[in-house]
Amino acid sequence: MIPLLSFSVIKIALMASASFTIAMLLTPALTNILYRYKMWRKTVRQEAMGGGGLPIFKKFHQEGEIKTPRFGGVLIWITPPFLALLFFILSKTGNAWLEGFNFLSRGETWLPLATLIMASAVGFLDDIVQVISGPKSAFLRPIWVKISKYTAGGLSLKLRFSLVFLIGLTGAWWFFSKLGVDSIFIPGVGDVFLGLFMIPFFVLVMLATYTGGVIDGIDGLSGGAFASMFTAYGVIALWQGQIDLATLCFAIVGAILAFLWFNIPPARFYMGETGVMGLTATLTVIAFLTDSVAVLPIIGVLLVAESASVIIQVTSKKLRHGKKVFLAAPIHHHFEGMGWPSVKVTMRFWIIGVVAAFIGVAIRLLG
């Protein structure tokens, strides 16, 4: 008889390994499709948020922008749900061993899996809009021109935020109404009752986390960052006895590592919004499910820094007549502008992310 904790570790390790393996096996087919249909942007972005040009971005990333496909995030959001469904079906065969590997459960993984799929689907739509060049039909072309006025460069920021808002509102309702969650735990303080305010708070955290998605700007950067964050929350979930949730976290990590294998410079494909939107939304849900949202700014410090740098830059341009605080924003481009090779930026950000994850986990476990 294998002890419960030992079996849980085996379950987590198996699902993480299976996720990595499946995603690796899917990559050749995905790559073939992406390059055959030229699933990359056809033009380089010309304007930064808040106005102004993008000289530093163009200097380092102009070629990759129009020659490297997006949609790498598909590997990340297809693999874990597939594994969850597969082992749920296998658990119904009557085999006790297989039943133990099922990690699809109402209280732990229904919501994060649904969030991962829904948010990634929205991101997938945004990526599609960014890469298609429009119909060749003379009849459809005028219609496309009108539509593209509102979707040039992808779905508008306002529309994306609105869709993330709706996903967050759905998740908040589930937490409050179905799971009965109406407070958050703050290490050193204890439970803080929010009541009905739990719903807007949940939505605001999801929107804030999504703004950190601008981290997907250098080969390998976002993959390494998200891997450390989901690993941290996987450890917290395991410590709390949320085995199914921990298994999902590490299944996501396995898929991220497979993506990262092909995203390390020179990248075969980018994560794209289909990965970023799904991961940031799911990270928010998992932070609440583990009652560890208070340490999310620590574990996700790279997302905070990336988002804050953009907000500071845009605000400075508007209030100081175009003057900038950073050479470029998000902040990883600032360091490139300082002369750091992109690989140095990526690896140093990885180190910061891992250390922040250690600190966040320690604070939560000791709190």
Q: Is the model's pLDDT at 159 over the cut of 80?
A: yes
Residue range 45-73: average pLDDT? Answer: 62
Q: Is the model's pLDDT at 259 over the cut of 50?
A: yes
Beta bridge partners of 183: 193
The pLDDT, as a whole number, for residue 295 is 98
Beta bridge partners of 190: 186
Measure the N-to-C terminal CA separation of the chain; round to a whole number of Å.
34
Instruction: List pLDDT tens digits, range 319-344.
Output: 888 889 998 889 999 999 899 999 99
d(CA 180, CA 332) in angstroms, rounded, equals 40
Residues 6+ apart with CB under 8 A from 286: 112, 230, 233, 237, 245, 248, 249
- Give me 350's structure tokens: 């990885």
Query: 315-322 contacts: CB < 8 A, separation 24 or more?
Result: 315/50, 317/50, 317/51, 317/52, 318/50, 322/51, 322/52
d(CA 14, CA 256) in angstroms, rounded, equals 15
Q: What percent of the chain has pLDDT over 90?
A: 70
Type of residue at 224: G
- Give me 268's structure tokens: 């075969």
pTM over 0.85: yes
d(CA 250, CA 284) in angstroms, rounded, equals 16
Q: Greater confidence, 63 or 18?
A: 18
d(CA 205, CA 286) in angstroms, rounded, equals 12
Rg (CA), the chain: 21
Residue range 20-34: average pLDDT? Answer: 95
Beta bridge partners of 193: 183
The range of the structural domain enclosing residue 172 comes to 4-366
Residue range 294-319: average pLDDT? Answer: 95
The pLDDT, as a whole number, for residue 1 is 43
Residue range 176-189: average pLDDT? Answer: 92
Residue range 276-280: average pLDDT? Answer: 97
Any idea which of 8-22, 134-148, 304-318 has the lowest mean pLDDT?
Answer: 134-148
Structural domain count of the chain: 1
